[in-house]
Structure 1
Amino acid sequence: MPKLYSWRNFWIFWGGGMALFIYLIISGGALETVVAPSGILDHQSAATADRVNAIQQSWADAGVLELARWGMIADLVFITLYMSGGIIGGRLIWQRANSPTLKKVGLLCVLAYFLFGLTDYIETICQLVQLVNEMGSDILAGTAALAKPVKTISWIVGTFAMIVALIWRWRETRA
């Protein structure tokens, strides 16, 4: 039986997450309307029920409400893949690196990807509930808007740290 914490699984989850992320960016243009010129990003940061309702109505008028639902479901898959891959990779680096500094970068990856996953799940679930109910909620919209900056920062930190750690680890194993 293959081990969960393997480089093979890292590349499957992390790479699969990256591929799905690119797909979501490419397909997200269909959700751009006059009311939501940034598409799904406007929905994530809406912060009020009235703003969510206006965005969702613009999507309904454009005939893309179902696409938005599937996009949010795909986002949940992305979160699962990318977070899992980041945690697997961070743990592998943390446990197997020779350099104490690289071990710390691995641990940073684990923490950043966990925080990213937690906050992005909160944000996306809050969005999806409003979309499925076809009604905005001040509490859910506010929660999603509060989670967004933490999610964004942890995604940037985790992604940058992982790329640095992978290059460092590659050089370390080549020496």
Structure 2
Amino acid sequence: MQYIEKYWLRLWLIGIILLSMMIFLNRHIVNDITIGGIMDHQLATNAARVNEIQDSWMINGQLDMARLSMAIDLFFIAIYSMGAFGAGRVLSKKSSALYVKLGWLIMFSAAIFCLTDYAETICQNIQIWQMGGDDKMAKLAANMQIPKNIAFLISLIGIIIILFVQNFFMKKKI
């Protein structure tokens, strides 16, 4: 835990870099069937739609790029979540009640993000590597979108607030 607390910013930034890589890769897996790229796969609520998306990637020579993006996502989830959790943990140890509350909120959000994004991404990876959609996994992955995105945004905005306050208002760094 001390490593995460000491290097939270590095972990978080590496997570942001991995997210940027996935956003870049997503441009290369967009086609007539998957206008939103990976997002379409994440939102597919049934096996038929998953199969349609995966078949379009195979036909268009984009399947390996989609698989790479989903594999990177597994690393992104862990690294970003550790960085965000570490930021929250450091903040929760401060003397200010406001920092403590923000720290706990970031830690909670990082944990929820980690759990929901792994549930989604593992379901996606199983389906894409088996080249077959599964109704239950597709539905589970799609249902993770809202809690995952809310938790991600809370942790992201919380950390941006930390960095802003640290760099512009505090003499001692967090």
Task: With the length of structure 2 as denominator, give the TM-score of the two structures.
Answer: 0.93
2:127 — aligned with what?
A: 130
2:58 — aligned with what?
A: 60
1:29 — aligned with what?
A: 27
CA distance in 2, matches of 1:47, 1:58: 17
Report the Cα offset of residue 37 of structure 1.
0.3
**Superposition RMSD in Å:** 1.6
1:98 maps to a residue whose letter is S
Where do 5+ consecutive residues of structure 2 fail to align?
none
Percent identical pairs in the alignment equals 32
Report the Cα offset of residue 172 of structure 1.
3.7
CA distance in 2, matches of 1:106, 1:166: 13
CA distance in 1, matches of 2:124, 2:41: 7
CA distance in 2, matches of 1:5, 1:27: 28
2:115 maps to a residue whose letter is L
- The reply to whether residue 165 of structure 1 matches residue 162 of structure 2 is yes
Q: Which moved more, 1:61-70 or 1:123-132?
A: 61-70
The answer to whether the 8 A contact 1:105-1:165 is kept is no
The answer to whether the 8 A contact 1:102-1:168 is kept is no
Report the Cα offset of residue 174 of structure 1.
4.5
Aligned length: 172
CA distance in 1, matches of 2:38, 2:146: 15
Match of 2:44 among 43, 46, 49: 46
- The reply to whether residue 103 of structure 1 matches residue 105 of structure 2 is no
1:4 maps to a residue whose letter is Y
Report the Cα offset of residue 173 of structure 1.
4.0
1:30 maps to a residue whose letter is H
Report the Cα offset of residue 70 of structure 1.
1.3
The answer to whether the 8 A contact 2:5-2:89 is kept is no
- The reply to whether residue 151 of structure 1 matches residue 135 of structure 2 is no
Where do 5+ consecutive residues of structure 1 fail to align?
none
Q: Which moved more, 1:165-174 or 1:145-154?
A: 165-174
Report the Cα offset of residue 26 of structure 1.
1.2
CA distance in 2, matches of 1:138, 1:17: 30
Deviation track 1:21-80 (CA, whole Å, cap 9, x = no partner) reads 111101211110111100000000001100000000000001111111111110000001
